[in-house]
Amino acid sequence: MDKGKILLAVTGFHPQHWRELLAADREVVLEPDGASDPSITYAVVWKQKPNILASLPNLRAIFSIGAGVDHIFTDPGLPDVPIVRVVADNLTQYMTEYVVWRVLDHHRQGMFYRALQPKKMWREAQQRPAGDISVGIMGLGHLGRAAASVLLSLGFAVNGWSRTDRPMQGVSTYVGEAGLIPFLNATDILVVLLPLTPQTQGIINYGLLKELRRHNGLGGAVLINAGRGRLQKDADILRALDDGTLKEASLDVFEVEPLPKTSPLWSHPKLFVTPHAAATSDPEHLVPIMLRQMAAFERGEKLDNLVDREAGY
C-alpha cells in the first residue's frame, strides 16, 4: 500500500507543531486545503469542520487528537471509516496525576488550610484515614483504571461505575443504570471520567449529586470532573455547592469553554477551577503513536483503540 497522505483538520488547537511532527514522516495537508483530495487517506482531527471528511474519496481512518471523541460525531457528514482514539501513557499519566492531586487536596482539607493561612490561624483539621473515604470513579476505561490503581495504593476505598461490567481487583464495581444509585450512595468523592455520549450528556445534575454519601469523615460530598463539560449541568453544581449537597468541587471542564467571565463558578469559594488542563494532548508523545499506527495499518495490521460507533466512544 502507498504511504497515505494526512489531512490535519483541527479547531481550537494550534496545528503548527502537530503538522511539523506529522510531516517528518508523511505528506500533510492543512485544512481548509485538501477538500476532495483523492490522495488523502488519513484525517487527524479535533472538532473538524462539518462535511470536510465526507469530501475525501479515499479516506481510510480518522485519528482523534484527544482522549475524547465526542467532537468527531458532531459532523453530519462523518464518513463510515474506522475512528481511532488516542491512548498514550503520557495522557493516562497526566490524568492520573490530576485525579490523585484533586482527591488528596479535598481529602487533606486543602481548602480549609488555605482559608486559615491568611488569618494566621494554627488549627488542625479533623483528619480521617484514606480507608474511611470512598472515591467513586464514573468510567472505568484506561484513564479510570489507572487512577484507581494509585488511589488504592494510597489506601482509599475505591468504587467504580461503568456501562458494561469492568471488574478490577480491589475496586467495588457497579454496572449500568441499576448500579448507579447504589454506587453513588457508597461514594464520598465522585470522580467523573465518562465519555460524552447522548446517554451521558447532563448526567451530573442536582438529583445525581443528592445521592452521594455525605455523612462521612470528610464533612461532605465532593465532585471532581475531569471528563467533559457537557456531562455536567454547571448551574446544578453551583446549587449543590451553595446548599451543602456538595462540600467542595474541582472542575477541569465546563458546559462552555473557555468558562465565560460572567460565570459565577469562577468565584465560588468551594470550587477549584482549571482550564481543561487535566491531561493535555502533547504532540511530541502522540504523533509518533499515530504514525506507528498508520504504518502498521499499511502493512495490513489492525488499528488499535477503535471507537465503537454504536456506543459513541
Spatial distance between the Cα atoms of 5 and 188, rounded to a whole number of angstroms: 49
Report if residue 39 touches a second copy, rule: CB under 8 A: no
Q: Taking CB under 8 A as the criterion, which residues in 235-264 touch a second copy?
A: 257-259, 261
Residues labelled catalytic: 228, 276
Residue 272, C-beta contacts closer than 8 angstroms, at least 6 positions apart: 102, 105, 111, 248, 249, 250, 251
Helix axes of 283-298 and 16-23: crossing angle, nearest 10 degrees: 40
Cβ–Cβ under 8 Å, residues 191 and 137:
yes
Report if residue 148 touches a second copy, rule: CB under 8 A: no
Spatial distance between the Cα atoms of 197 and 154, rounded to a whole number of angstroms: 32
Report if residue 288 touches a second copy, rule: CB under 8 A: no
- Identified binder of a second copy from the candidate list 57, 58, 74, 114, rule CB under 8 A: 114
Closest distance to a second copy from the beta carbon of 1 (Å): 34
Cβ–Cβ under 8 Å, residues 41 and 63:
no
Report if residue 230 touches a second copy, rule: CB under 8 A: no
Q: What is the CA radius of gyration of the chain?
A: 21
Cβ–Cβ under 8 Å, residues 109 and 248:
no
From 105-113, 158-166, 205-213, 229-237, span contacting a second copy (CB under 8 A): 105-113
DSSP 214: -
Closest distance to a second copy from the beta carbon of 247 (Å): 17
Decide whether 75 or 105 has the Cβ nearer to a second copy: 105
From 55-63, 75-83, 116-124, 236-244, span contacting a second copy (CB under 8 A): 116-124
Instruction: Give the interface with a second copy as residue ranges (CB under 8 A).
Output: 90, 93-94, 96-98, 100-101, 104-105, 107-108, 110, 113-114, 117-118, 120, 122-125, 127, 129-130, 149-150, 153-155, 257-259, 261, 266-267, 272-277, 280, 282
